[in-house]
Structure 1
Amino acid sequence: MSSDFDPLQPETFDSPHETYAALRSHCPVAHTDAWGGFWALTKHDDVAAAATNSDLFITSKQNVIPKVAFTGRRPPLHLDPPEHTPYRRAIAPLLTSRKVARFEPIIREICAALLAPMVERGGGDICTEFSSRMPVLTFARWMNLPPDQVETLAEVGRRFNVAVQSADEVGTKESSLFLYDMARSVVADRKANPLDVDEDLTTSLLAARVDGEPLPEDMIVGMIRQVLVVGIIAPTVLIGSICVHLSRDRALQSQLRGDRSLVPAAIDEFLRLYTPYRGFARTAVEDVTIRGRTISAGEPIALVYASANRDEEVFEDADQFRLNRPNIKDSIHFGRGVHHCPGAALARLELIVALEEILARTNGFSLAGEPVPTRMPEIGALHVPLTFE
């Protein structure tokens, strides 16, 4: 089968959105031979329909394109219902808006500490020095890790992040295996010293029962390994993309700095405009025809959220930033259906606090060089050099 697009071609920060706009217009269900071949759904309705139909479109065969998982299955992302359900049930109560709200001062403290040396120097790479570290440190606190493990996770998480984005297969495997060792250590410690099941994920997983039986320990380890890095890459990329946008739109930057009550709504629109994922995958369990093209059972399908959220048939002036967009709830940046991101409330809080702190600690900022784009499965900025005013 011939390729409708080439995801391996060199990209700039903006060029992927141009590619997806062309596909939405002329080839909304596209195929490429890259990475062994896969389909890409680029229209909002098609992406939303596939994401919500977990019976027809499964995630257990392949959950991301290109495939980056080298070791065991990691719940809940790698599983389908009903196997997926007990793990989701264990994590969801710990990530409600009420539960994560108490982390606001912690996130603010982390942001202030990371920004301080950048402010003193008059700038730096907002991704490398700030956004790649902030979510790791936040998740470590949410996971109740001891201080020595927090620092270790911060460094290994950063290495994993860079390796994945640099297509460094050796580095990705090495850092992933180290994270598995950390997960085993956390599980062993919680077995010996359990915490409150309402405040600690590992303790909650160990206490969970299905038909009276505990969850398999290797799957608990897999989930802890997943959680240790699940929230690292997306905030890194998205905060970088936000800083690119605000460097280009100084009027909006000044508006948000002057009235930081607008930041939460701005974050919602930035999540739509710069959705950091474009390669979450599903596999159809039977042949399926979408917009006249037949996808055979077993073929991987990328749900291109970043394209869906710029679909002109759903969002007016879809490539433009609009504060308080009336149909912002139609954005599917956190996914849909059973795999809707359980950490959405914490991720949104991180982004709000991060932008508030960047604005509060600078009089202005601008690009000090060209942003370096990330690569599939993410979309956005991996390196953003800034000058602080």
Structure 2
Amino acid sequence: MVETAVHARRSAHDFDAQSPEGFDDAHREFARLRAEHPVARSQDFGGFWAMLGYEELAEVITDIDRFTTTSQNAIPKFAFTGVRPPLHLDPPQHTSYRRVINHFFTPPKMRALEPAVRRCVQELIEPLIRQGTVDVARQYAQKLPAHVFAEFFNLSAETSLEIKTVSGTYVDAIQVLDHETVKSLSGRLYEIAQAIIDERRAGAFSAEDDLTQALLEAEYDGGPLPSAMVLGCVRQLIVTGMVAPSVFIGNMFVHLSRDPQLQQHLREHPEDIPGAVEEFVRLYNPYRGMARTARHDTVVGGQQIQEGDPIALVYTAANRDPRMFEEPDTFRLHRENIAKHISFGRGTHSCPGAPLARMMFRITLEEALSRSNFDLTGDPGMAKWAEWGTNHVPLEFIALGA
């Protein structure tokens, strides 16, 4: 009887990961599913488990003895072209790379970068406010990361914009399982990463001021980091931070358009914007396809999982688990336990770029709110699994004082 029940759950199809969605659909569906199956099952992408509950997800991402990132770290699986540290490695192999990366996201580094990020935001958003009727997702959210990355990685604007264009098409191909295009574009991203490395080898940058140079000068077992691994790491870094801000920033504009009272409060009390960003990140986390793989047969949340099973970490759902967050679908400024949200991961593979993401989101709201009122002029368009968020947000800006 037990074996029959286990087989039934493995054969279950609790949800369709590829169904079309409106802005509120996924959260409603995940709430329904989570109440019955905090560890849900889908047969899409070859079959996978989905951690919808907060405790269940936290258990998987913090237990590196039972779950690995080396086999499959995203659903659907799309890493066909080499190992890319640190995401594709478990400790202790990943630690040398992560140590270097973490150094570039310290508070002093972020304070030094902030004027450049603010300039990027201003240069992009001021023309849109003058224009009035815009698509804030396509004309702003999808462009800002490239400009910020040019500053952070010491890249030319042309190189950064190419990375953004190629990575956007790459993600689109992943979503429709176009493996040949994924491989081709991944190859192009490796070429760009290699060009960045070759430029650094010329000695124009210091390891203190340039992340790629720091990787080249880092030590591993008494020698330099392996060249192939440095290439994979740069390839990973130049893409990872492009996608999430692109699909997240529009969500804040949608929410504030729907809640003009909150919009006005933040306009009058900009000191509350960092707290609002944190709640927006909890409510609208864009990740639902990051993954781990079971190292051996195990149990999570009462569900038997077999060795080799891929497991989606659905932050989008876990952050709204009522077992952790009271009235989880409600925006609460300065929520008492907001620090427990899991939007940037946790433990070994928590997002090192979280401080930069928070800065981009905060400055976006500071600049938009201080200059304008805004409202939706149509329905948002949504990204597909593995992301959740907006890729089309028709908006009207009304300049303050106009």
Q: What RMSD, in angstroms, separates the aligned Cα atoms of the two structures?
A: 1.7
Distance 1:116 1:175, change over 3 A: farther
In the alignment, what sits opposite 1:270?
A: 280
Cα deviations across residues 168-212 of structure 1 (Å, max 9, x unaligned)?
A: 655544443222111001111111215221221111111112111
In the superposition, the TM-score normalised over structure 2's length comes to 0.92
What is the CA distance between 1:152 and its match in structure 2? 3.4
Kept after mapping to 2: 8 A contact 1:58/1:282: yes
Q: Is the 8 A contact 1:268 1:328 kept in 2?
A: yes
Instruction: Give CA-to-partner distance per residue, 1:36-65, whole Å, 9 cap, x none.
Output: 000011111111111111121111111111
Alpha-carbon separation, structure 1, partners of 2:312 and 2:158: 38
Alignment partners' CA distance in 2, 1:127 and 1:171: 24
CA distance in 1, matches of 2:157, 2:243: 22
CA contact (8 A) 1:197 1:207 kept: yes
How has the CA–CA distance of structure 1 residues 151 and 232 changed in structure 2, closer, same or farther, with 3 Å as cutoff?
A: closer
Alignment match, 2:390: 381
The correspondence for 1:11, drawn from 13, 21, 26, is 21
Counterpart of 1:365 in 2: which secondary structure?
Answer: strand
CA contact 1:48–1:336 (8 Å) conserved in 2: yes
Do residues 337 (structure 1) and 347 (structure 2) align?
yes
Matched residue SS, 1:232: helix
The alpha-carbon deviation at position 365 of structure 1 amounts to: 0.9
Aligned AA (1:386) = L
**2:314 paired residue number:** 304
| Residue from 314, 324, 328 that aligns with 2:324 | 314
**Greater alpha carbon shift after TM alignment, 323-332 vs 97-106:** 97-106
TM-score by length of 1: 0.95
Does 2:365 align with 1:367? no
1:268 deviates by: 0.5
Equivalent runs, 1:158-173 vs 2, <5 Å: 158-160=168-170, 163-164=173-174, 171-173=181-183
Q: Residue 277 of structure 1: SS of its match in structure 2?
A: coil
Q: Does 1:83 align with 2:93?
A: yes
Deviates more, 1:206-215 or 1:247-256: 206-215
**Cα gap change, 1:157 to 1:301, in 2 (>3 Å):** closer
How far off is 1:149 after superposition? 2.6
Q: CA deviation at 1:366?
A: 1.0
Correspondence 1:168-317 to 2 at 5 A: 171-193=181-203, 195-317=205-327
| Contact 1:237–1:374 (Cα < 8 Å) also in 2 | yes
**Structure 2 partner of 1:357:** 367
Q: 1:12 touches 1:373 (CA, 8 Å); kept in 2?
A: yes
The one-letter amino acid paired with 2:379 is E
Distance 1:163 1:259, change over 3 A: farther
Identity of aligned residues (%): 44
Tell me the alpha carbon deviations over residues 269-314 of structure 1, each in whole angstroms, 9 at most, x when there is no partner: 0010111111110011011112322010101001111111101011
Q: In 1, Cα distance between the equivalents of 2:230 and 2:250?
A: 32
Aligned residue number for residue 137 of structure 1: 147
**C-alpha distance in structure 2 between counterparts of 1:380 and 1:335, whole Å:** 17
The partner residue of 1:104 within 107, 114, 123 is 114
Unaligned runs of 5+ in 1: none
Of the structure 1 ranges 213-222 and 267-276, higher mean CA displacement relative to structure 2 is found in: 213-222
Counterpart position of 2:65 = 55
8 A contact 2:245–2:357 mirrored in 1: yes
Is residue 357 of structure 2 the alignment partner of residue 347 of structure 1?
Answer: yes
Q: Which runs of 5+ in 2 are unaligned?
A: 1-10
Alpha-carbon distance in structure 1 between the residues aligned to 2:47 and 2:160: 39
Change (3 A) 1:72 1:309: same
Aligned to 1:33: 43
Aligned length: 388
Distance in 2, matches of 1:165 and 1:142, equals 28
Q: Give me the whole-angstrom Cα distance separating, in 1, the residues matched to 2:51 and 2:199.
A: 43
CA contact (8 A) 1:194 1:203 kept: no
Structure 2 counterpart of 1:132, one-letter code? Q
The 1-side partners of 2:346 and 2:201 are apart by 34
